[in-house]
Every structure is written in C-alpha cells, then in structure tokens.
Chain A
C-alpha cells in the first residue's frame, strides 16, 4: 500500500503566560491509503493538536509548528502557502470534530453548508451541488434528503448532525479524513452507528482515516493500526491486534487496566493509573511517564526513551519493555 501521509518529527508548541506548552513534542508516523489509524491517549496528550497541525488549523499566535515535516500526497504541507493549503482542506483532507451540536453554523441551512464546499472546491453550480448534497445525505443514511437540506441545524439531533458532518467530510471525495473523538459527545447507542458508518464508508470509498479517541474499545474494533500518545509523544505503535493483545508500553498497559472490559470477570479490579499527566511546560529530560510508571528504573529519570521495535511492526518507547512483557507473560 502506498504511503499517503507521513508525519516526521512534528513539534507544535503554544506560548502561554505559564510558559511554552509543548503540546506535540516530536511525533513520527505514517498513514497508508485507505487505512484507519487510531491515535489514543488521555485528554491533553496532544492528539487533537497533532491533527490540527496536519490541517493547518493551529492558531498562530499562540500556537506554532516549530519543527518537522508533514508529507501528504507527496507535498510537504508545512511549505505550502495559506492559499494552497486552503485548496487542499475540505478537498483532499477533511476533518470531523468532536461536538456535532456546535459544529454546524446555526444560521445556515444544512444544504447551504454542504453545498458551499462543493461549490468552492469542485466549482459545482447551485443545482449540481444540491443534487450531490442530497446524494451525500442518502449515503450517510439520512432519508428524505431534499427536506433535510432546507432545515437548520437546530432541527436535528446530535447523531443526525454527526452524520451530516460525515457527509460534509466526504463531500469532495478526500483522501484522508481526520476524526477527532467523533462519538464522544453522542449517546452510547448512537456511537456504534456512527462508527460503523464511518468504517463502512471509508472502506468503500478507499479513504484513509485518522481516528482520534481515548476509547480502547473503539481502537480494537475499528482501527488497523494504533499510535498511543502520552505527553506530546508517541509511546507505542503497532497494529491494533498487537497492541491490544500484547501492549509493550507501561502506559498502554495502564490504559487497558483502567477501563472496564465486558470480556473480563466482574470481580476483576480496575487499576487506575496513579498521578496526573505531566505539566507540558516543564518536561524533564527523563521519560515523562516515569513518575506514574510501575516499571520505573533509574535510567528512566535520566534519559528519555525513543521508539524501539519490540515485535514486527510494533514499537515502544520504553527502557523496560522486557519487564512489561514478563508481567504479561506471568498471567493476568
């Protein structure tokens, strides 16, 4: 499979009165065409900032991409002009946001908001755009598209609005969609519908998907590959199957143990990760997960580990991957 997106050593920092927040602090990963890659982590670990960096939507000031390359379809996005980037956004690169309730402009009809993308990027006429918009609605499972197009966002439920956001993302047949916690704000029953829809459509249209989530269950079911992020860095990467079955980083392990799983006995205790995520303005030289880690050794205080392959296609940024593997080997 051809590489679609290649993020290399990306650093995105924000200057605040408290100091410089290193929200994304050197991440490297790739996304192949048509593939679904999940990015998992706690809130504030830099997953959204990483996504917005790709979209070129980091507000400057206070944000700034300090370093790195983002190659997309053979072009380095960081070298493009604003205008070139704008032509790409919505056309080749699309994004779905977390809050469907506030993601649509309350003063414009659904149709208007769908059509303006088509008219801007594909030069459709008004009629062509309306026809295509109705098609798109049908595609995301909204019946009676003609009527819906004339409605305003406040007429629609959250699930319905997120379907529209998906239609919006798919409108110009992009190569990559970034979905930032697309189901977090929805009812549990709707969450599955939306995810299934996204999976089906991205498969069918061969669109790559970056799925940002904090939900490991979602990862296992919908992603091909996973990047686990902690404090602005990727600490583990691998196929969804590998990471889920045999996590090789203590943080991934901690994440899995702190979430209830239906397939485990009810008496199985949940083990929360102790402590708080680190202050991103004051990262030391050691491993940033060190203070919360069960496997910590002296080396972790002094040197920050980088990603090292632990199995074919699986990497972990940890000095003590053996100890982690041993703890899993010993049962659990």
Chain B
C-alpha cells in the first residue's frame, strides 16, 4: 500500500501516468514484498508447498518404515526424532503436508464453486430460487461449521474422499451467503441497471459485472477458509475421524504420539508446529490480501 502511494506522488507529468497503470497483480506483489508479515507468510507457505510436492524426494526415510529405534529423541540421523513405532518423524511430517494442503485447497475450491453458484443464483434471480437456497443456508447456519464436518463424517464415514466432501459441505453456506450479499449490493449499482436496460443477458451481466466485483471479498473469504479447513482436517484426524491410519497426516501423527508426550515431547511438539506454521502463513497472506483489497474485517470471520 505504502509503495503504491509513493509511486502516485512521484507522478508529476502526464507522461508518467503509465506508472499508475500497473496491473493489480504487480501491485499485490509489491505490497507483499513490503509487508513483513505477508512476506514471511509467502516464504513459509512456499517451503511447505515445495515439501508437499516433492515429499518422496525430500523425506529422508519412508514415512511408514518402522525399522528405527522407538521414541528416539531428535538427533543427526533423525532430525525430529522417531515415534512410538520407530518411524522417522520428519519424514512423516513431510508426507503429512500433502494431505493437509490437498484437503485445505480442494475443500475450499469445492465450497467456493458450489457456494458461489448457489449465492449468485439466489441473489440474482430472487424469487423461489432465493427462498429455497436461503432456507438451506439458514439451516446450515444453525450448526457450527466444524460440527457439520463432524456430522458429515459420521454420516459418510472416514477416508480422504469422505473427509473432503464433509469439510467442503461445511463451508458452502459461508460462500453462498457472501456471494448472495454481494450480488444484492451490486445489482443495485447504476452500471448494472444500465447494462440491463441496454438488453444485456443475465449470464452476461453476471459474468461481466457481478462476478468480477464480488471477487475481492470472495478471495479473502477463501483464504481464511483454507486455514480453517486445514485446522478442521487436523482436528478430525486427531479425533480419529480422518483419513485411513496408514496415511500420515499431521493430526493423526499428533493423535498417535499423544500418549507418549510425557516421555517424548518431540512427537507432541513438531506435528503441531507444522500445522501452526502453515495456518499462520495463510493467515498472514489473507490479512495482507484483506488490506490490499480493502475488504472489511467484519464480513469474513469464518
């Protein structure tokens, strides 16, 4: 933000105006580079994404290999120690990155697409569609998101596919509510009325006017939701409602290590640290996005 204003003040003559026509993404990039929190977030996130993508190459050992000393403290051969079955903790955490990120991003993508579809339909067309969709949103609103996810797991059962569905269902109403609100606001804008007066079709109006204007708050909401989804996955895994126990996930590693924390602190500390750093980096980025896109804090808490 600061940088953008500095630039603006440097524009003295009309020739310099091109400076102001820099793309939004360049602006965003420059903002990130100047905001220490956002920069830290980006770096941490990049490290984790890298770890997730190349897990088999980076991990020093097979995450499910039980051939090492049990509950060995961090050492040169096992940087983060081993767990109660003698598996290398670092390798397990590196592999755990994959599930966390997969669930975090897939669920939010699903929730975003379906929520926005519902919200746009409800807000733009109104009438019975709005009624129906609003009833659904209200109903879902009667449950805390996490409880919905827990309940969905109870209904569908565990496993990565079910878990993805369960968590994304939990967040659909947030996006639908937000998208609907945005549409209702934007619909009243003079330029949208003008477009309609000039005979633009519904889909065209949605595509060219409504959706682009609704992006900023949706992106911010999506970022926040990713962090919550990652936390939700970890909590579900921790409670034994997550993926199969052969797949290492951060929540599961913690759950398994829980009984040994008094003897081996590392099995308790490191997986949680990984979760926290990931979520923290996403929150930092989300905060920078919010400032950058000038979205009010109140509308996107969860």
A residues apposed to B, CB below 8 Å: 17-19
Q: Nearest chain B CB to A113's CB is how many angstroms away? A: 27
CB distance from A19 to the nearest CB of B (A): 7
7 A-B pairs whose Cβ atoms sit less than 8 Å apart in the complex? A17-B2, A17-B5, A17-B6, A17-B9, A18-B5, A18-B9, A19-B9
- Kindly list the 5 A-B residue pairs having the minimum CB-CB distance in the complex, ordered from nearest: A18-B9, A17-B5, A17-B2, A17-B6, A18-B5
Main secondary structure of the interface of A (DSSP, over half): loop
Task: Give Cα A17 to B6, complex, Å.
Answer: 7
Please indicate the chain A residues that have their CB under 8 angstroms from the CB of B9 in the complex. 17-19
- Inside 8 A of A19's CB, which chain B residues have their CB? 9
**For residue B3, which residue of chain A has the nearest CB?**
A17
Most chain A CB within a 10 A radius of its CB, from B2, B5, B6, B9 = B9
Q: In whole angstroms, how far apart are the Cα atoms of A19 and B6 in the complex?
A: 10
Complex Cα distance, B2 from A17, in Å, reads 7
Q: Which residues of chain A have C-beta atoms less than 8 A from B6's C-beta?
A: 17
Contacts of A18 in B (CB 8 A): 5, 9
Distance between Cα atoms of A18 and B2 in the complex (Å): 10
Secondary structure at chain B's binding surface: helix, strand, loop or mixed? helix
Residue of B nearest to A17 (CB): B5
Q: How far is the CA of A17 from the CA of B5 in the complex (A)?
A: 7
Instruction: Quote the shortest CB–CB distance from A80 to chain B (angstroms).
Output: 35
Give CA–CA (A17, B9) in the complex, Å.
9
Q: Could you mark each residue 1-40 of chain B with 1 if its beta carbon is under 8 Å from any beta carbon of chain A, else 0?
A: 0100110010000000000000000000000000000000
Min CB gap B291→A, angstroms: 15
Measured between alpha carbons, how far is A275 from B2 in the docked complex, in Å?
29
Taken together as a complex, chains A and B put the C-alpha atoms of A325 and B82 apart, in Å, by: 94
Give the residue name and chain of the A residue nearest to B5 (CB).
A17
For residue A17, which residues in chain B have a CB less than 8 angstroms away from its CB?
A: 2, 5-6, 9
What residues on A are CB-neighbors of B2 within 8 Å?
A: 17
Alpha-carbon gap, A19 to B10, bound state (A): 11
User: How far is the CB of B199 from the nearest CB of chain A, in Å?
Assistant: 40
CA distance A18 to B11 in the complex (A): 11
Shortest beta-carbon distance, B19 to chain A, in Å? 15
Nearest-neighbor residue (CB-CB) of B1 within chain A: A17
B2 vs chain A, min Cβ distance (A)? 6
What separation, in Å, do the CA atoms of A274 and B5 have in the docked complex?
27
Q: In this complex, what residue of A is CB-closest to B2?
A: A17
- Smallest beta-carbon distance B289→chain A, Å: 21
Rounded to whole angstroms, the CA-CA distance of A225 and B2 in the bound complex is: 43
Kindly state the separation between the CA atoms of A17 and B34 in the bound complex, as whole angstroms.
14
Q: Which residue of chain A is the closest to B6 with respect to CB atoms?
A: A17
Specify the chain B residue showing the minimal Cβ separation from A19: B9
Q: Residue of A at shortest CB range from B4? A: A17
Q: Which residues of chain A are within 8 angstroms of B5 by Cβ–Cβ distance?
A: 17-18
CB distance from B197 to the nearest CB of A (A): 33
Distance A112 CA – B256 CA, assembled complex (angstroms) = 60
Distance from B23 Cβ to chain A, minimum over Cβ atoms (Å): 22
Give bound CA distance, A18 to B5, whole Å: 7
Smallest Cβ distance from B251 to chain A, in angstroms?
44
Tell me the smallest distance from the CB of A15 to a CB of chain B, in Å: 13
Give complex CA distance A56, B6 in Å: 30
Q: How far is the CB of B9 from chain A (nearest CB, A)?
A: 5
Taking CB as reference atom, which chain B residue is nearest A279? B9
- Give the CA-CA distance A18 to B9 in the complex, in Å: 6
